[in-house]
Chain A
Amino acid sequence: MTGHLHKDDFGAKLGMWLFLFTELLLFGGLFLLYAVYLKRYPHEFAAGGTQLNWIMGTANTAILLTSSLSAAMAVTAVQRGELKRTVALLGGTVLCAACFMVIKYFEWSAKIGHGIYPGSEHLKAGAPGESVFFSLYYISTGIHGLHVMIGAALLTWIGVKVRSGEVNADNYILLENGALYWHLVDLIWIFIFPLYYLVL
């Protein structure tokens, strides 16, 4: 239908940045709620923060930072035409994503096991601010986790394209944009981590 194949890498990257902007704003709404409720319930938020497992949180932070490094290296590798290394590095990123989700799973199930989840009897009986803190925690980390999974799926798909040679040293905008998305997922976690785990 459209006979010409218009190629504009700068335009593609501009579009991606605009999209990332919308993602930041999506979480911005949650950060806004966090700010208002933190002002209202500083003690309950501090108490809630101490109940989160900061070791697991720190581990996940380290894992995500490593995954971002590996994604950035994958972009450099593809620019140099080292396609095998690109695939391996992308595999590393996806592996980190999987580790992140596993740790998240243990964190959530431990909390739920203690009766701490939105709408639970335990939270209903406790201070109101605590319920707000944990609801925000679950929604923020939940939506972030969803982004981790989407990002991992995206990078896997791109990895397949690198393998088939469709993404290569002359045409790697897809990988660049995928890596940008991944950095965003990482960046949002960098905000979530201190706000919830280190709030004390």
Chain B
Amino acid sequence: MASNAPVHHATGSSFWNDTGKTGITSWIFSTDHKRIGFLYFYSTFGFFLVGVLLGLLLRIELMAPGRTIMGPQTYNALFTVHGVVMIFLFIIPGIPGAFGNLVMPIQIGARDVAFPRLNLLSWWLYIIGAVIVLTSLFSGGGAPDTGWTFYVPFSSRTGTNVSLAVFGVFIVGFSSILTGVNFVTTIHRLRTEGMSWGRIPLFTWSLYATAWVQILATPILAITLVLVMAERIIGAGLFDPTRGGDPVMYQHLFWIYSHPAVYIMILPAMGIISDIIPVFSRKPIFGYKMIAFSSVAIAAAGSLVWGHHMFTSGMSDTAVMVFSFLTFVVAIPSAIKVFNWVSTLYKGSISLEAPMLFALSFILLFSIGGLSGLILGAAATDIHVHDTHFVVGHFHYVMFGGTAFAFFAAMHYWLPKFYGRRYAEKPAVVAWALMFSGFNILYFTMQVLGMQGMPRRYYDYLPEFANLNLVATIGSWILAAGLVIMLVNLFRGLWWGVPFEGNPWGGASLEWSVPTPPPTENFIEEPVVTHGPYDFNGVER
């Protein structure tokens, strides 16, 4: 293989070239799930990098008290846009859109998703929504400054461009719904012969649970955003107390979607980890059924806990207690997963390669994030740390330490399969080590700051918080350095690296049985599944 050949197709014919079509239109109008997967991958990951840059700027501003590099209004806009971009343009569509599309149909032995054209439409809606969101930053009254939660009454009164931004998010939500509909139908209808529900890889199981949450929760976000626009444009007054409305009703509606949405973000990540851990432990997953079940249980129970975001909003004490109790219930299926992963490792033949390192750090970081979530879920302790940096730290532990680290794990685990080339191992490990350390320096410090009382979303702070804020900012630089090394190494490897052939990780699920890179329509002949996804008997490494 000529090592200088630009990009893709290390060997012979694959989906990169076997349709005979080239050029941009063969991508942006393709209905092939792998091409759409790559469209999602590069667009969501691009937005992730934008979000990272904004986050780094925020950290530089908070490095020292008082003004450092920007004024308060810019700061408000930046944390809002950081949140909107990361949540709606990266974390929610990221794993289902990119790796769900790339891997899921192959994992169940299908040639494509159930509705390939709808799949393409989903990506287009995502891009259109994203463009509208970006337009809102530079037009009208300027970038929204409400925080990503768009809380009324501020969001109905601020002069910034909230209406356009929420309209963009509305369109992105539509895209998310269509992906959900597509995936549920695909998993029900297109499983190949022998792919019973008990043989579905856990990544696909997690996408199945996620897709249901996308279907059931996203419409509530849609109507909520419509109502924000109605408040602003026609003065509906539904959330305005002077006109008989109630701002707390906005918070209810918003969190009825947005809490389940954090499970849209974390469930597919858990699925990735469930697929990687057994492969790199050379052992069948421990408790397959319970992991699959817990995905569904998290999706179900997670839809009933939204009130824990509102303990200080003026709900009744009864509601606070009920929501607090339900929040603790969700911890059970999450813990089931963690214990099962750890049990899978026990007496396994563990090989610490890059995907595994990211997966292992996921378990640790997610556990810290999950447990700090219980501190927030308990009403009494929440009152103390509500709206402080503790929340920011917690959220980043689960979303960055959880979902983004799983995304990185998937990048190292699956992308070589689709490029037919791989990255160098050593720089990947160095990058991982830097990111892991930088991450903890940054976000653990935030949690300590929150415990000490530093509020979130504040532009300025008291001098006693200065030292820890400096530490956190330095942590963000270490994290960013690791990220840069990871990206350079990974993409240099995928585009120009040594060939990745056959099944080097030794995976037993179907995606490892197809040619590398897979051809369009994936399978040369219809596969028949005779064993489970983690049955490594006879699988060579």
Contact = CB atoms under 8 A, between A and B. Distances in A.
A118 interface: yes
Contacts of B71: none
A127 B116 CA distance: 52
B30 A15 contact: no
Contacts of A37: 244, 246
Interface residues of B, number: 46
Given A11-B185, A11-B189, A124-B243, A118 B235 contact: yes
Q: How large is the interface on A (under 10, 10 to 19, 20 to 34, 35 or more residues)?
A: 35 or more
B197 to A, nearest CB: 16
Given A2-B31, A8-B189, A128-B243, A33 B238 contact: yes
Contacts of B111: 2, 4, 6
A14 B222 CA distance: 22
B28 interface: no
A131 B249 contact: no
The 6 A-B residue pairs with the shortest CB-CB distance, nearest first, are A128-B244, A119-B235, A29-B223, A25-B219, A11-B189, A26-B219
B224 interface: yes
B520 interface: yes
14 contacts: A1-B30, A2-B116, A4-B111, A6-B111, A8-B114, A18-B181, A25-B220, A29-B224, A33-B253, A118-B235, A118-B237, A124-B243, A127-B244, A139-B227
B115 interface: yes
Given A1-B21, A8-B189, A29-B220, A15 B181 contact: yes
B114 A11 contact: yes
Contact of A132 (B114, B177, B243): B243
A139 B228 CA distance: 12
Interface string A3-44: 110101011101100110111111111101100110011001
Contacts of A88: none
B519 to A, nearest CB: 11
B219 A29 contact: yes
Nearest to B30: A1
A28 B219 contact: yes
B131 interface: no
B18 to A, nearest CB: 10
Given A21-B215, A28-B219, A132 B189 contact: no
Contacts of A1: 19, 21, 30-32, 520
Contact of B521 (A4, A28, A139, A143): A4
Contacts of B181: 15, 18-19, 22
Contacts of B230: 118, 135, 139
A21 B237 contact: no
A129 interface: yes
B234 to A, nearest CB: 5
Nearest to B242: A128
A26 B111 CA distance: 33
Given A10-B189, A14-B185, A18-B185, A41 B244 contact: yes
Contacts of A173: none
Among A3, A26, A37, find the residue whose CB has the most chain B CB atoms closer than 10 A.
A26
A153 to B, nearest CB: 17
Given A1-B520, A36-B249, A143-B226, A15 B185 contact: yes
Contacts, number: 126
A94 to B, nearest CB: 24
A136 interface: yes
Residues of B contacting A: mostly = helix
Given A18-B184, A25-B216, A29-B227, 7 more contacts: A2-B112, A21-B216, A30-B223, A44-B244, A119-B236, A132-B245, A139-B226
Contact of A15 (B114, B226, B236): B114
B188 interface: yes
B372 interface: no
Interface string B105-120: 0000001101110100
Interface in A131-146: 131-132, 135-136, 138-139, 143
A139 B234 CA distance: 10
Interface in B203-250: 215-216, 218-220, 222-224, 226-227, 230, 234-238, 242-246, 249
Given A15-B114, A18-B185, A131 B237 contact: yes
A53 B411 CA distance: 60
A35 to B, nearest CB: 11
B244 A131 contact: yes
Contacts of A41: 244
A112 B520 CA distance: 57
Contacts of B30: 1
Nearest to B186: A11
B74 interface: no
Nearest to A124: B243
B184 to A, nearest CB: 6
Contacts of B11: none
Contact of B215 (A22, A27, A44, A129): A22
Contacts of B234: 117-119, 138
A6 B242 CA distance: 57
B182 interface: yes
Interface string B171-210: 0000001001110110011100000000000000000000
Contacts of B244: 37, 40-41, 44, 127-132
A44 to B, nearest CB: 8
A133 B224 CA distance: 17
Contacts of B184: 14, 18
Nearest to B230: A139
In this complex, the member of B30, B31, B185, B188 whose beta carbon has the largest number of chain A beta carbons within 10 angstroms is B185
